[in-house]
Amino acid sequence: MSNSNVAECPQEPIPEYAFIGRSNVGKSSLINMLTGQKHLAKTSGRPGKTQLINHFKINNNWFLVDLPGYGYARVSKKDKKTFQKYIRDYFDNRKQLITAFVLIDIRHRAQAVDLRFMEWLGTHQIPFAIIFTKADKLKPKAQGEHVSSYLKELLDGVWEELPPYFITSSAKQTGREEVLDYIEGINRQFYKNQ
Does the protein bind ligand GTP through residue 80 (CB under 6 A)?
no
Does the protein bind ligand GTP through residue 143 (CB under 6 A)?
no
Question: CB neighbours of 115 closer than 8 A, spacing ≥ 6?
Answer: 153, 154, 157
- Least distance from ligand GTP to the Cβ atom of residue 189, Å: 29
Burial of 46 (0-12, 13-18, 19+ CB in 10 A): exposed
User: Rounded to whole angstroms, how far apart are CA atoms 100 and 178?
Assistant: 16
Q: Which does 44 bind (CB under 5 to 8 A by kind): Mg ion, ligand GTP, none?
A: ligand GTP
The window from 7-15, 52-60, 138-146, 163-171 that contacts ligand GTP (CB under 6 A) reads 163-171
Which listed residue (16, 20, 24, 183) binds ligand GTP by CB under 6 A? Answer: 24
**Binding residues for ligand GTP, how many (CB under 6 A)?**
23
> Regarding beta strands 62-66 and 53-58, do their DSSP bridges make them parallel or antiparallel, or are they unpaired?
antiparallel
Adjacent-strand bridge partners of 18: 65, 100
User: Rounded to whole angstroms, how far apart are CA atoms 56 and 159?
Assistant: 31
- Least distance from Mg ion to the Cβ atom of residue 104, Å: 15
In the window 90-119, what residues touch Mg ion (CB under 5 A)? none
Does the protein bind ligand GTP through residue 45 (CB under 6 A)?
yes
Does the protein bind Mg ion through residue 28 (CB under 5 A)?
yes
User: Rounded to whole angstroms, how far apart are CA atoms 117 and 44?
Assistant: 23
Three-class DSSP category at 81: helix
Q: Which does 25 bind (CB under 5 to 8 A by kind): Mg ion, ligand GTP, none?
A: ligand GTP
User: Rounded to whole angstroms, how far apart are CA atoms 75 and 111?
Assistant: 17
Which listed residue (10, 15, 48, 164) binds ligand GTP by CB under 6 A? Answer: 48
The DSSP secondary-structure symbol of 108 reads S
Compare residues 4 and 149 and give the one whose CB is closer to Mg ion: 4
Compare residues 167 and 183 and give the one whose CB is closer to ligand GTP: 167
> Regarding beta strands 53-58 and 165-167, do their DSSP bridges make them parallel or antiparallel, or are they unpaired?
unpaired
Adjacent-strand bridge partners of 56: 64
Residues that bind ligand GTP (CB under 6 A): 23-29, 43-45, 47-50, 68-69, 133-134, 136-137, 169-171
